[in-house]
Amino acid sequence: MRTHSGDKSFVCSHCEKQFSTLHYLRRHMNVHTSKYNCRECGKSYYDNGGLTRHGRIHSAEKPFECSLCSKRFRWAGQLTVHSRMHSGDKPYNCHVCLKAFMQSGHLSSHMSVHTGDKLHKCSVCDKSFSRSYSLKRHKQRVHSNRRPYYCPYCGKLFKTSADVRKHVRVHTGAKQYSCRHCSEGFVWYRQLKTHLLKSHNEGTWYNCETCQKKFSRKCSHRLHIKRHDVKRYVCIQCPKRFFTASELKSHQLVHSEFRQFCCGLCNTLFKHSSDVKRHFKKCSTVVATCWSFD
């Protein structure tokens, strides 16, 4: 009963930390009596196995290898979670809407949809998040100008390592998501989900109740529904109206001289990312032709 009552009557004689059960106190005492200490950070463990596992944090050792894509991991648990991307296994189910997830953390985050709890608030813009990781990522991407991560192929800079890993697939074309029904492979997980739905009838279609059009992705369905609504986003500089805030934001560049997208070959500036992508293809062809004559 003490575990759930909040009563913490078991006190550590070394650091005065309090615990709800004697079992938790005894387990904590290993911190003070441990003979196995990490030489790198000083963290203590009560057995050599724990110290050995911890040591992988400070080294490049990744002993657990995926048999399907050869990706390696430091921990067996990481490999187990990763393997679900190939198998499509989702063992964690929401008891409210029966939606399934690959990781328990994803399920915990999803539950905020039903409870409305967002306990992690951004100190800059007051936006709230259900997970501390989501708050940390938000601060990196929205409130920080630092881009410490770069692509080894093209040198493009990114704010997070996850963004780099996603971007690199554009260069490598690595198809790490495999269909368990056939030999098809995919670069992106969303492509695998669409394939499973269209080719193997596995998954759920999202149907528009107004025009009966169906979609394989929830985000596409959500955007489509707005097309049946009024254009509520109005430009303050002209009478033009839009269905979504992102469309309005993109349009507002028409009234501005700000050009944030730069060609890496000739340094020409553009307002839209799509413009610089089209230009880069032409520019790279011209540069390659010039080099061939050198």
- Give the distance from CA 4 to its chain's centroid: 33
Q: Summarize pLDDT for 10-39 with one digit per residue, the tens.
A: 888 877 788 888 888 877 776 666 567 777
Q: Summarize pLDDT for 140-197 with one digit per residue, the tens.
A: 777 777 777 888 877 778 888 888 888 888 788 888 888 889 988 888 888 888 899 8
Length of the chain: 294
Q: Is the pTM of this model over 0.85?
A: no
